[in-house]
């Protein structure tokens, strides 16, 4: 009887102490906090920061990829590092050091995540030395960021059972547009490799059990005058407009966990029409039209860019020649 009473006393005391601990410290269920459901690549970009701001406002747990290893140094005033330091103080964010070119860091990023927002892009300017060097050796080149990076992402998603990739892209489907030729020539063939990355996502359906949503926005900027978006499925054409980072961030977030827009390519432009995204999602169809073969399109992109450079050199040569004749 004495031992039973002693056991009861110990149990009661432990329960009382635990209750006091909960009252003083607050009990937290860390299971959800330790298992973020959304991964983000490109978190320090203008679009990425808007997405994170909206998700953090709703205390949604997320993991972000960080390639700025020195961000914890208070003397580092680089804009991206300062932003990463700010992220590190938010309770809903878990930072994973790595790079889109590193498969192992992508696997670590995608662990326990159902969805990945692939918002990264390359702003690399073309250099004359690009003729000499192999683009694959330049990690910031669009071939790595927009193409091989997507290949690495698919590999990691397959390993971690991540189900949905939401990718921000651009319309590189038509290589004959003058603006596309200029952007490719000056921007290290960014449009060409963006489209090639899109093709990888569409092709993966037969290889992996991974859904995709590709978003082709208009010209993104800080314009907040018109937040209404019009979307068109199958990557079909809409007149090009300016769109705000906020509205595209909202579109990205609206795509998370939404079965209506999986395996779709969406063109997104601003509109004066007052139409809700949810109403438009209901009418979206999965990609069913033929998208041009990436190898064929890549060849056209490169041929047109080189032809454009040749024309510019010819004009420049003649200007120099005739200036000496005068």
b/e per residue, 122-150, with b = 16+ CB within 10 A?
bebebeeeeeeeebeebbebbbbbbbbbb
Instruction: State which residues form the domain around 139.
Output: 37-325
Provide the whole-model pTM. 0.85
Domain count for the chain, please give it. 1
The radius of gyration of the chain from alpha carbons, rounded to an integer in Å, stands at 25
> Residue 232 is part of a domain; what is its CATH number?
3.40.50.720
Residue 30 within any structural domain of the chain:
no
- Between strands 264-270 and 164-168, the pairing is unpaired
Burial class (CB in 10 A: 0-12, 13-18, 19+), 271: middle
Whether 166 maps to a domain, the answer reads yes
Q: What is the pLDDT along the chain (326 residues), one digit of tens a residue?
A: 444 444 444 344 443 333 333 333 333 333 344 456 899 999 999 999 999 999 999 999 999 999 987 888 888 888 999 999 999 999 999 999 999 999 999 999 999 999 999 999 999 999 988 888 889 899 999 999 999 999 999 999 999 999 999 999 988 889 999 999 999 999 999 999 999 999 999 998 778 889 999 999 999 998 656 579 999 999 999 999 999 999 999 999 999 999 999 999 999 999 988 899 999 999 999 999 999 999 999 999 999 999 999 998 889 888 887 777 76
Q: Would you state the pLDDT for residue 25?
A: 37
The reply to whether 237 falls in a domain is yes
> DSSP state, 221?
E
How far is 50 from 119, CA to CA, in rounded Å?
11
Distance between CA atoms of 42 and 158, rounded to whole angstroms? 20
| φ/ψ (deg, to 5) at 266 | -110, 125
Predicted local distance difference test score (pLDDT) of residue 191: 94
């Amino acid at each position: 009887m004495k031992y039973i009473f002693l056991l009861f006393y110990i149990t009661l005391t432990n329960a009382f102490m635990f209750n006091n601990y909960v009252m003083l410290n607050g009990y937290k269920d860390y299971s959800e906090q330790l298992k973020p459901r959304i991964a983000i690549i490109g978190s320090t970009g203008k679009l990425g920061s808007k997405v994170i701001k909206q998700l953090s406002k709703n205390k949604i747990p997320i993991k972000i990829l960080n390639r700025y290893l020195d961000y914890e140094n208070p003397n580092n005033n680089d804009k991206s590092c300062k932003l990463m330091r700010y992220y590190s103080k938010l309770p809903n964010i878990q930072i994973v050091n790595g790079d889109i070119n590193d498969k192992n860091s992508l696997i670590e990023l995608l662990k326990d995540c159902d969805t990945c927002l692939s918002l990264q892009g390359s702003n690399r300017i073309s250099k004359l030395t690009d003729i000499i060097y192999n683009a694959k050796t330049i990690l910031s080149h669009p071939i790595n960021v927009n193409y091989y990076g997507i290949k690495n992402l698919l590999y990691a998603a397959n390993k971690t059972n991540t189900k949905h990739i939401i990718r921000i892209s651009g319309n590189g489907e038509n290589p004959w547009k003058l603006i596309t030729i200029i952007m490719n020539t000056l921007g290290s063939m960014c449009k060409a490799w963006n489209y090639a990355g899109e093709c990888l996502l569409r092709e993966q359906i037969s290889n992996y059990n991974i859904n995709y949503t590709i978003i082709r926005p208009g010209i993104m900027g800080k314009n907040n005058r018109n937040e209404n978006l019009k979307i068109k499925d199958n990557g079909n054409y809409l007149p090009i407009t300016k769109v705000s980072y906020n509205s595209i961030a909202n579109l990205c977030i609206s795509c998370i966990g939404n079965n209506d827009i999986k395996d779709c390519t969406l063109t997104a432009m601003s509109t004066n029409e007052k139409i809700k995204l949810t109403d438009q999602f209901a009418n979206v169809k999965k990609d069913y039209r033929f998208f041009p073969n990436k190898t064929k399109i890549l060849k056209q992109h490169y041929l047109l860019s080189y032809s454009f450079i040749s024309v510019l050199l010819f004009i420049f040569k003649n200007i120099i020649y005739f200036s000496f004749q005068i």
